[in-house]
Copies of this chain bind each other. A is one copy, B any other.
Amino acid sequence: MVRSFVAAALLAAASPISAQVHASPLVDPKVASLRDLALDRDQHAWDIVEGLTTEVGPRLAGTQAEARARDWAVTRLTAMGFANVRIEPFDMPVWSRGFESAEILAPFPQRMVVAALGNSGSTGPEGVTGEIVAFDSVDALKAAPDAAVRGKIVFVDHLMPANQDGSGYGQFGAPRRQGPTIASQKGAQAIVIRSIGTDHHRNPHTGVMTFSDGAKPIPAGALSIPDAEQLVRIIKRGQPVRMRLVLQNQTIPGQSGNVIAEVPGRDPSLPPVLVGGHLDSWDQGTGAIDDGAGVAIAAAAAKRIMDAGRPLRTIRVVWFGAEEPGLFGGEAYRAKYGKQPHYALIESDFGADKIWKVDSKLGDARKAEAEAIGKALAPLGIVTGKFDEADGSDIGPMLKDGHPGVGLSQDGTRYFDIHHTPDDTLDKIDPAQLRQNVAAWTAVLAILSGGIEEPKARKRR
């Protein structure tokens, strides 16, 4: 485990400002104090992610497990003292996984580890059997004549790199996002891809894809990376390779929902600050880094502000439902609240490793506020990025609509080792790095919420 090493480095780099160290006069001392207290001792985030992943575990969008997660969330957020805790339900199609297996029949019989991609067609219980036709990229698949693909099982390879900014996922995710549609259009009976990931474990990476342009759904699975490499070695021997693939999936109508909780502002007429993450997870892990950590960080930071006093603006915590199958929760929130002004949107959905960069898009008139955020985060080892950029999954469409936002980027170097695999479990979260996340979010919320008024009993006179 790299855990203890990273934690030590982190603490060394971003220890709380002690009485012996002079802090920058450019950072509000109250903001600095809240930040450092979170870094030193936040326990809220760990308790949430530990509780959610243990007491609910996997929570696939639209399933009973996700419904249990919403009930758990309401109980927990209410107990934490949030106001206006509520579930806002919405309907959606619910895809779920059944039995799945992959087996090389010839020339070298052996089983492989496979996971259906979200929205994969089903092979039925008897499976499909066919010859493998292999491509090193989606571009190569696109360029192939239909006759080379028709009736076969397509395999698409790639070499996604592990980058701090997670930039491999966009470009190298093409086999998952576009591969199934192209394979279907060319008449393939099924497709398997090298998992979109950066590890070397026998844990395949699932993830959503959509058959577009009228393409007929075909079975679509991801092989674990060691299996994909094994398949390439087998193919390179030059003999025809036959695979039997069983992916039994189904899609039925169902329901999900967003869970919302608030820290009421002193001036309810002001636009709220939205902080969020998503409550659903894929079905094979317990959704610790994706996105138990995110909902935990968002709520923990809001809780720390709430405990410090009353903010000027309302902080609205949103635990979105059904992000994984296609941002259903974000769209439901947008449909209901998207026309109302928001002071800022922030979402945590990239694990719980150390935040290394802050971007924002608050508009020219709020440049000083954006700069104050950067100054407040620098002692956590966070670089200030761009002033015209903010990103997020569920909040993405609303950011595109023009709502202001802040983006806190976690280190993504090992994120895609774990992402969408059975390995997304609590042990992958480093408590010290999680606290650094909460510290950063707390500082951002302290600034965005417009000044905290301490409770009267504790007010200094």
Contacts and interface: CB of A to CB of B under 8 A. Distances in A.
A7 interface: no
A203 interface: yes
Question: DSSP majority for the A interface?
Answer: loop
Interface in A400-421: 421
B200 A201 contact: no
A230 B200 contact: no
Contacts of A200: 1, 425, 427-428
Contact of A58 (B1, B110, B421, B423): B110
Contact of A237 (B55, B225, B423): B55
Contacts of A225: 427
Contact of A233 (B54, B109, B285): B54
B55 A230 contact: no
Contacts of A230: 53-54, 57, 286, 425-426
Interface in A88-106: 104
Contacts of A55: 107-108, 237
Contacts of A233: 50, 54, 426
A111 B58 contact: yes
Nearest to A113: B422
Interface in A27-59: 50, 53-58
Contacts of A423: 201-202, 226
Contacts of A139: none
A427 B225 CA distance: 10
Contacts of A237: 54-55
Interface residues of A, number: 37
Interface string A428-443: 1000000000000000
A229 B286 CA distance: 12
A202 B425 CA distance: 9
A423 B423 CA distance: 13
A141 to B, nearest CB: 24
A54 B226 CA distance: 11
A227 to B, nearest CB: 8
A67 to B, nearest CB: 12
A110 B57 CA distance: 6
Given A200-B1, A203-B203, A234-B54, A229 B110 contact: no
A428 B234 CA distance: 18
Contacts of A113: 422
A1 B161 CA distance: 12
Interface centre among A200, A201, A286, A423 (most CB of B within 10 A): A201
Nearest to A425: B226
Interface centre among A110, A234, A427 (most CB of B within 10 A): A110
A97 to B, nearest CB: 11
Nearest to A428: B200
A426 B110 contact: no
A427 B228 CA distance: 11
A50 B51 CA distance: 44
A426 B347 CA distance: 39
A110 B201 contact: no
Contacts of A425: 200, 202, 226, 230
Interface string A220-236: 00000110011001100
A163 to B, nearest CB: 15
14 contacts: A1-B200, A53-B230, A54-B108, A54-B237, A57-B109, A57-B110, A58-B111, A200-B427, A201-B423, A202-B421, A202-B425, A226-B425, A229-B426, A229-B427
4 tightest A-B CB contacts, nearest first: A57-B110, A202-B422, A226-B425, A54-B233
Given A54-B234, A229-B427, 8 more contacts: A1-B200, A50-B233, A53-B230, A200-B425, A202-B285, A225-B427, A226-B425, A226-B426
